[in-house]
Structure 1
Amino acid sequence: MKAPALDPPRLSRFGEHLLSRIVTAEVDAMIDGLHKRTGSFGYDPWGYDEGSVKLAAGVIKLLYERYFRVQAHGLENIPAHGRVLIVGNHSGQLPMDGVLVGYALLSNVHGPRAARAMIERFFPTVPFLGNLLNGLGAVIGDPHNCAKMLESEEAIIVFPEGVRGSGKPWRLRYQLQRFGNGFVHLAMNHRAPVVPVGIVGCEETMPSLGSITPLARLLGVPYVPIVPVPLPLPARVILNFGEPVEFDPEPCSETEAQRRVETVKARIQALIDAGLSQRERVF
């Protein structure tokens, strides 16, 4: 007996219905209201794609509000316009912290921003992931890329710990790892304020017992975490945005630059501590 053919119009209607449930009128208006400079096809020079952002925003909105139940404090500290570096602690094996911080800025009632996230160089080597992240506004964390975007008055999310933070094991949770100092030089050279953000909750979304180093080397990635659950857990997330820090743009010694890095690091630690005291339960 011949199998019945699928009805393409029915599938098309189902797809349109599903898309309308994800990209709601609220999400559509939120993205259209950004007035982001894009070409006639909806892209900017770094690959940002309005269509991809709308779809992602619809999905992330559900995760932000219902799964991780994010509480964001201090969003009034994010400038509504102009260049800014949002610098935070990194954790959770997957880049959920960057995704949630990005949505907090996107939905900020004090002035929504389509933030760019600096990502590790290995991400574009993962099939499909590089193009997907580019479409959502992420860019390889290269100083040249960051400088160009600051000159274009972008808001940029930076995690100076890099994989040292995202891939750390559970026993080091909420312990800040070594910060790179590139963000301070960028802030100084381009007169960009630094807004620190302390992120609490992402440590618990995917706790790691360690890394399978031989497999990581074979795959060419920084780490392959040993996790009890392969999907992010619904931990409650708290984002605390601090007051902007501005540095003197005049050239300084590397010792002074490092002191400025430690200043930002200390503010982030204080915001983390505040978040830990604010939350009543982990899940």
Structure 2
Amino acid sequence: MGLASYLKSKLVPAELDEHINRIRKPIGTLGYDPWGYNNEVIKVGFSLTRQLYEKYFRVHAQGVENVPAEGPVLIVANHSGQLPIDGLLIGYALASRQHQPRIPRAMIERFFPTVPWLGNLLNEMGAVLGDPVNCAKMLANDEAVIVFPEGIRGSGKLYHDRYQLKRFGNGFMHLAMKYKASIVPVGVVGCEETLPAIANIKPLARALGIPYAPVTLPVVLPAKVHLNFGAPMVFDDLEIPEEQITARVEQVKAEISRLIDKGLSERKRLF
């Protein structure tokens, strides 16, 4: 019995097994898709993530039904917290919904696949190296894709900059227009407090070849997380100047900012 099969037998209840099996994925006879996604591994990951989602971070998700049940979708969110916890929780919220669940793909930083074992594990759980070519292929395959246009500018921000959106790149808008993908904005509140950083040691980061070297706590704090999914935003694919592309990006950014403010106003406590 392989490790995945053993863990599945110990961790995955029958109802969860059936739930994942109902979510159709274009996998081959060996159980993988071209990017490494594996249905059996996702079941184990899903089971473990449920404990974090429900008991540790006690996630409150609103509007997850706004994500279309089919077709190409970009789920665009603010990035925070030093670790990709936000993407994990967004993915679980969508995959666990009872009505027409979807298993989204997450675009990850180039650093993660360089970590031994971690890259393969993330691929098996649906993550894909975050470059425009991979994202385009995902959308052409009618996938739902989680993207963070702030990139490491967002995930590596310091605590005193919490909930201040950094610059968004325009790449996701070009892809949404080209592939006629809906954009669902998401405001994430709580992940800033899971691993707050007070400084970034840039020389150490450069020496280690990592995006940032935060000065932070050695543990992930159990902050309560709020996820607010907005209504889908659809943009035509007409050829327009780049400044108009930027204006569309700013529309999405403004909606995410509004959803963040909504989550902050709803939050009663940090933990």
Same fold flag (TM > 0.5): yes
- Count of aligned pairs between the two proteins: 269
TM-aligned CA deviation for residue 16 of structure 1 = 8.3
Work out whether 1:136 is the aligned partner of 2:104: no
Q: Which aligned segments of 4 or more residues in structure 1 are displaced greater than 6 angstroms? A: 15-18
TM-aligned CA deviation for residue 273 of structure 1 = 0.2
Q: Secondary structure at the match of 2:244?
A: helix
Q: Which moved more, 1:145-154 or 1:26-35?
A: 26-35
Q: Secondary structure at the match of 1:86?
A: strand
CA distance in structure 1 between the partners assigned to 2:172 and 2:99 by the alignment: 25
CA distance in structure 1 between the partners assigned to 2:203 and 2:118 by the alignment: 23
Work out whether 1:190 is the aligned partner of 2:184: no
Structure 1 segments unaligned to the other structure (5+ residues): 1-11
Q: Deviations over 1:63-83 (max 9, x none)?
A: 000100001100121101111
TM-aligned CA deviation for residue 165 of structure 1 = 0.3
CA distance in structure 2 between the partners assigned to 1:35 and 1:19 by the alignment: 19
Structure 2 segments unaligned to the other structure (5+ residues): none
**Following superposition of structure 1 onto structure 2, how do residues 256-275 of structure 1 map, counting pairs within 5 Å?**
256-275=244-263
TM-aligned CA deviation for residue 17 of structure 1 = 8.4
Q: Secondary structure at the match of 2:187?
A: strand
Work out whether 1:49 is the aligned partner of 2:38: yes
Q: Deviations over 1:223-256 (max 9, x none)?
A: 01100x2221100000000000011101111100
TM-score for the superposition, normalised by structure 2: 0.96
Q: Secondary structure at the match of 1:87?
A: strand
CA distance in structure 1 between the partners assigned to 2:157 and 2:113 by the alignment: 22
Identity of aligned residues (%): 60
CA distance in structure 1 between the partners assigned to 2:115 and 2:5 by the alignment: 29
TM-score for the superposition, normalised by structure 1: 0.92
Q: Which residue of 2 aligns with 1:85?
A: 74
Q: Which residue of 1 aligns with 2:219?
A: 231
Which residue of 258, 264, 269 corresponds with 1:276? Answer: 264
Change (3 A) 1:260 1:211: same
* Larger Rg over CA atoms: 1
Q: Deviations over 1:249-277 (max 9, x none)?
A: 01111100000000000000000000001
Q: Which residue of 2 aligns with 1:175?
A: 164
Q: Which residue of 2 aligns with 1:69?
A: 58
RMSD of Structure 2 on Structure 1 (CA)? 1.5
**Following superposition of structure 1 onto structure 2, how do residues 209-248 of structure 1 map, counting pairs within 5 Å?**
209-227=198-216, 229-248=217-236
